[in-house]
Amino acid sequence: MKEEKHLFTSESVSEGHPDKLCDQISDAILDAALIQDPLSRVACESMVTFGKLFVAGELTTKAKIDYEKVARHVIKEVGYDSDEMGFNYKTCEVQTHIQSQSPDIAMGVDKGGAGDQGMMFGFACDETKELMPLPIALAHKLVRELTKIRKQGELDYLRPDSKSQVTIEYQNDKPVHIDAIVISTQHNKNVALEKIEKDVKNILIKRVIPANLFDAKTKIFVNPTGRFEIGGPQGDTGLTGRKIIVDTYGGYGAHGGGAFSGKDPSKVDRSAAYFARYLAKNVVASGAARQCEIQIAYAIGVAEPVSVLIDTFGTGQYADNQIVQVLRQLFDFTPNGIISQLDLRRPIYQKTAAYGHFGREEEGFTWEKTNAAQKIRQALENSGAASSESKKSK
């Protein structure tokens, strides 16, 4: 058999990236609403640019929220706390434009229907212990560790905005080698590129990258333009929901196009995508497949999905339609059912808004649990036996 090779690349961005800053502000406002009123309907969008923040959206809630205070606190936490950073939580202008949810949308949500139409995807594979694709898993770990190094003061020249990119070489669909790593990190004006390159290679990469995947052939690019002093909202306008591939699987599998941040769980863009990940991860954890992608589609105002599709890419121990049937029997796919099963009416969302919504086995990330793997495996075994008996009777 001929050995097949290919490269696959994923990127991540830090919490100081302007788009991620907006995601965190939108989700912090969502959390503030859910703390006071778990039934809040929230669709909150943020935009940052040089010296300015705009917050707009539709909120129907009993909560009393100081939107400006919430937003400034997020900006401070991220690290934009002085004019030297190019954006300052104390002095930036904040404008808010908030109204109630459309009554036309509310009619459908009030009766338990989906808050919008659309299709959502979940994915899992056995490349990492978190059952995530390796390229995005490593890309997230790189920028997360870089942020930790910055916040702990280990490298005092670092600034909040940074990006990572990881290219993995696959042989016969298995990751075998890191072909390239790209790190772009904002810095102060007093540090030389040679110093940044040395620190990234000797501190960051050595801490994060597995030694068995990294060798002298691995290409490393650090601040490839030569300088990254101007970053964050000073360098680039940021918007909520503009990093949907970073938020999910790094380009692996399909994406329905809906963003997550700033949306309460009645919006299936978010809750059904979390649920699809939960199901896909538990299918892989059950041993039923090495890869699993699930699509769930909804019509606005309708509780049950219009379709559920599974693709195990030829790695399944059971037929894909057989897995669909078992999942439909075991789980409630309605928006209210998803919210209940994953306990989503809690203020858990700000921390999801940077470093990926998936692959993080932390408190609050209920969709990352594999507590359904055993019952899925048992149900599939029973359905397999039933199928065999049915064939014999014919």
Binding-site residues from annotation for L-methionine:
58, 101, 236, 267
Enumerate the known binding-site residues for ATP: 17, 161-163, 227-228, 236, 242-243, 259, 263
Which residue pairs, CB below 8 angstroms and at least 24 apart, start in 55-58?
Answer: 55/25, 55/26, 55/29, 55/94, 55/95, 55/96, 55/97, 55/98, 56/96, 56/97, 56/98, 57/26, 57/97, 57/98, 57/99, 57/262, 58/98, 58/99, 58/100, 58/101, 58/102
Cβ neighbours of residue 1 closer than 8 Å, sequence gap 6 or more: none
Q: What are phi and psi of 13, to 5 degrees?
A: -135, 155
Enumerate the known binding-site residues: 17, 19, 45, 58, 101, 161-163, 227-228, 236, 242-243, 259, 263, 267
385 CB burial (10 A radius; 0-12, 13-18, 19+): exposed
Please answer whether residues 361 and 355 qualify as being in contact, where contact means their C-beta atoms are separated by less than 8 angstroms: no
Three-state SS for 212? helix
229-260 in b/e form (b: 16+ CB < 10 A) is eebbbbbeebbbbbbbebbbbbebbebbebbb
The identity of residue 131, as a single letter, is: L
353-363 in b/e form (b: 16+ CB < 10 A) is bbbbbbbbeee
Enumerate the known binding-site residues for Mg(2+): 19
Q: Which of 106, 117, 113, 105 shows the shortest CA–CA distance to 297?
A: 117
Helix (H) or strand (E) holding 139: helix 134-151
Q: Torsion over CA of 33, 39, 41 and 42, rounded to 10 degrees?
A: 30
Enumerate the known binding-site residues for K(+): 45
Q: What is the distance between the alpha carbons of residues 52 and 149, in angstroms, rounded to a whole number?
A: 28
Q: Which of 372, 17, 356 shows the shortest CA–CA distance to 159?
A: 17
